[in-house]
Chain A
Amino acid sequence: MDPSALQSPELQNFLNQEKERAMINEMVGKLTSACWDKCITGTPGSKFSSSETNCLTNCAQRYMEMSLMIVKRFQNMQ
């Protein structure tokens, strides 16, 4: 393999983008798993009820709020 192919800024940009994409996918994956457990309590139906849909949406948003809250509190202790 031509080693200079690894140095190109194009490749570095690409790798950074893919890294970010992978981090986002991981977060969505973890959240979906956790929120599924919290919100889909019965047997899966042929569609979600509106309360299940709302719960999933709320779950994701509350998680993000909580994240910010935790960082702030932690910063206050420094």
Chain B
Amino acid sequence: MDSFSSASSGSSSQYSTNDIMDQVKTQLAQAYAEQFLETVRDKCFDKCITKPGSSLSGSEGSCISRCVDRYIEATGIISKALFSQR
């Protein structure tokens, strides 16, 4: 993503405030996604893979799909409970 849109004096290797903000936003988003995925892996492994076999069974696979969906849903429910006035 080439977003060197702001005019900067001097050499083309200088970063503007906007560039810094974009980079910080991107890195924070990546870190958040990685942490979230790590949590989902832990939870769904606990719930769905109770006795590891020599391959993932169909029921383990559907459990994992449902688990991911539910965990994302749970995150929304908790967010809403914390931050919307009722």
Contact size class for B? 35 or more
- Does B67 lie within 8 Å of A44, measured CB to CB? yes
A25: B residues at CB distance < 8 A = 32
Chain A CB within 8 A of B16 CB: yes
Q: Interface size on A (CB < 8 Å)? A: 35
> Total number of A-B contacts with CB less than 8 angstroms?
93
B41: chain A residues within 8 A (beta carbon): none
Q: Write out, one digit per residue, whether chain A residues 53-78 have a CB within 8 A of any chain B CB (1) or not (0).
A: 10011011100100000000000000
Closest A residue, CB atoms, query B39: A33
In-complex Cβ contact of B25 among A18, A27, A33, A44 (8 A): A18
Q: Is B5 an interface residue, CB under 8 A from the partner?
A: no
- Mark each residue of chain B from 1 to 44: 1 if its CB lies under 8 Å from any CB of chain A, else 0: 00000001010011111001100110010001001100100011
A22–B69 Cα gap in the complex (Å)? 23
Chain B residues, Cβ within 8 Å of A1:
13-15
**Contact pick for B63, options A18, A31, A43, CB 8 Å:** A43
Q: Which residues of B sit under 8 angstroms from A29, Cβ to Cβ?
A: 35-36, 39, 75
Complex Cα–Cα for A14 and B47 (A): 39
Is B15 a contact of A36 with CB atoms below 8 Å? Answer: no
Cα–Cα distance between A1 and B17 once the two chains are bound (Å): 10
